[in-house]
Structure 1
C-alpha cells in the first residue's frame, strides 16, 4: 500500500511538472495532441453510408421472419421485406438527405443496380457517391484470385453502365474481404475500402507498394446490427449515435475524428428511422465545425494530407 501511495504521489508531481503525457496524447507512437484538424478546417467529419442491396439478395435470404422454411419453397414474405428497400426506403432517405443538404456514400450491389436501375440513377443524380459492394451477395473471401477480381469488376461495371459513376470505394459483404481483396481493388483502380473498424479516423496503408486509403466503417452506429440484429427501438438508436457523436466531438478539439453511421435501404428507410435520422442530423448540425462528406471525398483528403496516419 505504501509503495502505491508513493507511486501516486510521484505521478502527481511529475504530471504537474509536465513530465508525464496525458492519457490519449500518444497512440501508436504518434503525438495526437498535435494532430488536431482536417485539411479543410473541419473539426469533425460525419460519414454516412446508405447501402443499396435490396433486389440483389438470393432467395430465402435472412430476414426478420423465422428461418423455418421447408426445403424447396421460396420465402415470399421475406422477399417483400427486401422489396421495401427499393420501393420505399431509398426514396425516403434521399428526400431526407436533401432536406439537410447532406451527401452520402451508397454501396451498391451490382445485381440490385441492374434490376432497379432507376433507383441507382436517382441516387447518383442527387449528388451521392456510388461505391462498390460486389456483384451479388456471394461470399468473396474464399474465391480464387481471378474469380474474385471478376466478381468485383462486374459489380463496378454494373454501376458505371447504369449510373455513369466510376466507383472508387469498396465494401465487402459483411466486411469479410479476403487476403487478395485489397490487391485486386488497387489493380482495378479503387482508391479506398471501408472494411475496417480499427480507428475513428481515416488512414493510409500500402497496397502493391502504393498508397491506399482506409475510411473506417462502423457496427456501433449501424441500423442492420442495432435495429434489425439487436431489435433496438429508434429512441435507443438515436441515443446511442448521439452519445457517439458527443464523445467524438469532444475528442475532435485535440485530434482528427470521424463519425461513421450506416443505413440499409429496407431498414434505415422506414418512416420511424427517417424521423429519428432527421432529429439526429438536426442535432449534429447544431454543432460548429462539423461537416458531412462522402467517403470518396474523405479518401482524397486523406491521401493528399501529409499528416494522415500511415500503417
Structure 2
C-alpha cells in the first residue's frame, strides 16, 4: 500500500507538472526560479539592508582648549585641563569599551582616525585593525582644509594617510574631513593619493558613484541624524531618545529596502559613544536590528568596493 500511495503521489506531481508546462511552456522549477529572481535585494551580495557604523578616533589629536562640555569661559593664555581629560576618556576608556562591544555583537566597523591621535596612541590604533576593523583617514589633525591651497591640502592628507599606514600597516582608502567640510580640491587630491571613497555627503541613503579626475569614485554617505556628537552632545538627548531616534530610522528604511537599495549609517565618537550608558544602549539597538532578516553590517571600504563593482549603482 505504501508503495502504491507513493506511486500515485509521484504520478500526480508529474501530471501537474505536465499541465503547468502545457499552459506556460515552463517547468515548475523554472517558475520557481523566475519567482526568486523577482525577490531582488538590491545589494549585489544578497543583503536586504546594509548598516555601516563609524567609530571616530579623534581624542588625543585635538588642539588645546578644544570644544568640550565645559563652559566656554576660559581666560586667554590658560589651558582647559578638565576639558583635556574629557578627551582622554576617549582613548583610555571609550574605544576599548566599544571594541569589546563590537566583538560581542560580531560586527566590524570603520574607524576614521585623526593621525595625530594615532601617533599618540599607536597601540590602540593597531588593536583596532587587528580586531578586523577598517582604518580610514580623518586628517592629520583637527585643522580645517577647505581654506588650504592645493599643495597644503595634499600634504595634509598625504601626511595623515602615511601616519596611519606606518602605525597600522594598512593604507587607508576612505576619507572624512573635519566636520565634513572638504574643499574644492579635496576629491581630486584623494583620487590622486589612491583613495577610493569619501563620506562627506548627506544627500542619499545609499552609496553612489561620481567622476573625479575622469575616474569612478565612491560616495558612502555619512549621517548627522544618527550621530552621537550631534544628538547626545549637541541636543542633549538621553540614551533612550538616541535609541528611539535611530530605531525609528531603521524601522522606516527596512520596509523601503524591499523596493530599493538602502544604507543606514550610525556614527559614534570615542569620548561620547564609548561611555558605559551609550555602549549599553548601542548593544541593545544593534541586537534589535540584527533580529531582522537580511540585514548586514559592513565596513565602509567593503561598501565602496561593492559600489564601484556594481553596474546598477547610481551615478552622478
Quick one: distance in 2 between partners of 1:103 and 1:147?
33
Which consecutive unaligned segments of at least 5 residues does structure 1 have? 1-32
Deviations 1:94-120 (A, max 9, x none): 000000111000000010000110110
Query: CA contact under 8 A between 2:41 and 2:47: conserved in structure 1?
Result: no
Shift in Å at residue 37 of structure 1? 1.3
Matched, 1:66 2:71: yes
Higher helix proportion = 2
Query: CA contact under 8 A between 1:132 and 1:167: conserved in structure 2?
Result: yes
Match of 1:248 among 238, 250, 253: 253
Matched, 1:112 2:112: no
Equivalent residues, number: 279
Deviations 1:146-191 (A, max 9, x none): 0000000111011000000110000000000000000000000000
Query: TM (normalized to structure 2)?
Result: 0.87
Partner of 2:158: 153
Query: CA contact under 8 A between 1:35 and 1:256: conserved in structure 2?
Result: no
Matched, 1:184 2:189: yes
Query: TM (normalized to structure 1)?
Result: 0.89
Quick one: distance in 1 between partners of 2:228 and 2:40?
31
Matched, 1:266 2:271: yes
Quick one: distance in 2 between partners of 1:35 and 1:98?
30
1:106 partner SS: strand
Quick one: distance in 1 between partners of 2:170 and 2:46?
28
Task: Report 1:33-182 matches (<5 A).
Answer: 36-182=41-187
Match of 1:213 among 188, 213, 218: 218
Query: CA contact under 8 A between 1:34 and 1:255: conserved in structure 2?
Result: no
Runs of 4+ in 1 over 4 A off after TM superposition: 33-36
Query: CA contact under 8 A between 1:34 and 1:254: conserved in structure 2?
Result: no
Quick one: distance in 1 between partners of 2:92 and 2:123?
11
Quick one: distance in 2 between partners of 1:128 and 1:303?
20
Structure of higher CA gyration radius = 2
Aligned-CA RMSD value: 1.1
